[in-house]
Amino acid sequence: MDNLQIATPEIFLLTATCVVLVVGLFLKPEQRQVNYWLAQFSLLVTLVIASGQLDEGTQLAFQGSYGIDTMATSLKCWILAIAILGFLYSRDYLSERQIARGEYYVLGLFGVLGMMVMVSATNMLTIYLGLELLALSLYAMGALYRDNSDASEAAMKYFVLGALASGMLLYGMSMIYGATGSLDLNVIHEVLTGAGERSVGARFGLVFVVVGLAFKLGAVPFHMWVPDIYDGAPTSVTLYIATAPKIAAFAMVIRLLVDGLENLQADWQQMLSILAALSVIVGNLVAIAQTNIKRMLAYSTISHVGFLLMGVVGATSASYSAAMFYAIVYAFTTLAAFGVVLALSRDGYEAVNLTDLAGLGKRNILLAAVMMLAMISLAGVPPLVGFYAKLSVLRAVIDAGFLWLAIIGVAMSVVGAFYYLRVIKLMFFDEPVAMAELQPASDVSAGLAANGLALLVLGIVPGMIMGVCVAAFA
């Protein structure tokens, strides 16, 4: 019963997802909004259950292969909250394109379940099961817009490259299992402590694990899928891929590299520092040349993955806390940016070019203000929360002795500010290309307003989140 109690949020979400799946079979086309409300209710109740575990400390279940701690429970709550807002922002977009079918919400819920499993896993096999549940859901979501050839092509690319990354990761895990005789991360950590020759096989496995993680995160040079998938997939799916899964990927990095392979820290620090530097440089430089909103945000994602990896490179409790804070802030900020892009994509019209943002301040000041806050936060300009996120990561990297990496991060942040500020210039200083009325639903407007305001408030009082991040690695 203790096992079931620890996994209560996941068990409820799985049950609710199956209910949404079955109910969807009996709904008429005009009743498809029922799927949306059932999905939102499922996520909301799961969020309440998960938040109730915040004070339960560290506990293990299912023979030590699954557990909860401060990091797991807090990240689950953020994943669920972001999924709720993501479904809200996507509702009208999906309805207008006739893809608001029950399958979208079922796949989205299964993806959230996979993320929750990844976050709580303490065994390599459990991590892989959660990862594949998420990945398979994302592949199918990308292909749901069957009338769009770009979406089908993007889904196929994602499937092929994702399968390659999963194979790399699984091969690395198998080599580590061969070297240590266990898939349990705690046991692996103990075996590798003073392992001598045994650690040689584990080091080979580590290389493949890092490659697999870099693919999943979209770090350079394993980033080739990110811009194509972001651009080709329906914008609602792009929002989903760009936000909550990044938090789950961060948790997977911590579980594998810190909890399990901490004794090989000197090896993975070198690899991650190179990946971080390349990601920050390539992401920011290539983003400057983009005229497509989604591709620009894709390269922005690559650069932010570089900053996220910087926090892990620091290899201290403070740097891990900074990286966790960065993952949460990035996902929440990107959610606001894509929420505005979805609001612009009305009546079958796709807002894909930067020029579609021209004059947005005159068409809808709320959307323009939220987008402006998101861009300033992503650029790392005070007093938005993105500034504190970058500052905490850079400080942790310097304290760990990686001054050269911090210098690259600061220099590329200045470069990146150009394409973020260009968006603000387009919205407030250029003439609109269309003056059609732009009025999202009241609940969508309220969600975007709260999202944008949170970026400002959390920047002024970042301790509201940072305190939990510090406690997670205390």
pLDDT at 436 (0 to 100): 66
Answer whether 65's CB lies under 8 Å from 126's CB.
Answer: yes
Of these ranges, 47-56, 89-98, 242-251, the one predicted with the greatest mean pLDDT is: 242-251
Confidence (pLDDT) at 280 = 94
Residue in 310, 290, 309 with CA at minimum distance from that of residue 300: 290
Asked if pLDDT for residue 198 goes beyond 70, the answer is: no
Cis peptide bond prior to 227, omega within 30° of 0: no
Q: For residue 60, what is the enclosing H or E element? A: strand 59-61
- Residue pair 399/318 in contact by the 8 Å Cβ criterion: yes
Q: Is the pLDDT of residue 362 over 90?
A: no
Chain CA centroid to CA 20, Å = 24
If one compares 274 and 62, the residue with the highest pLDDT of the two is: 274
Distance separating alpha carbons of residues 124 and 133, to the nearest angstrom: 14
Instruction: Measure the CA–CA gap between 390 and 48, rounded to whole angstroms.
Output: 30
pLDDT tens for residues 51-89?
Answer: 988 887 788 888 888 888 889 999 999 999 999 999 999
pTM for the complete prediction? 0.93
**Spatial contact of 79 and 248, defined as CB atoms under 8 Å apart:** yes
Q: What is the rounded average pLDDT of the residues 417-433?
A: 87
Residue with tokens 């292969």: 65
Alpha-carbon gap, residue 242 to 247, rounded angstroms: 10
Residue 297: which domain range?
Answer: 2-472
- For 137-180, write each residue's pLDDT tens digit: 998 888 887 777 777 888 888 888 888 889 999 999 999 998 88
Joined together, the tokens standing for residue 309 give: 């990896």
DSSP state of 290: -
Residue 348: per-residue pLDDT: 64
Q: Which two tokens stand for residue 162?
A: 């994702």
- According to DSSP, residue 430 is labeled S
- Residue 19 in contact with residue 89, Cβ under 8 Å? no
Residue 5 contacts by C-beta under 8 Å, 6 or more apart in sequence? none
Tokens in use for 90? 């996507």
The number of distinct structural domains making up the chain is 1
Position 363 confidence tier, pLDDT thresholds 50, 70, 90:
confident
SS3 at position 292: strand
Q: Kindly report the CA angle at 326 between 469 and 215, in degrees rounded to 5?
A: 115
3-state secondary structure of 461: coil
Q: What is the pLDDT of residues 379-406, one digit of tens each?
A: 988 889 999 999 999 999 998 888 999 9
Mean pLDDT value of segment 301-316 = 91
Q: What is the pLDDT of residues 370-385, one digit of tens each?
A: 999 999 999 988 889 9
Which among 247, 217, 218 is positioned nearest to 81, based on CA atoms?
Answer: 247
Residues 123/65, Cβ–Cβ less than 8 Å: yes
| Average pLDDT over all residues of the chain | 88
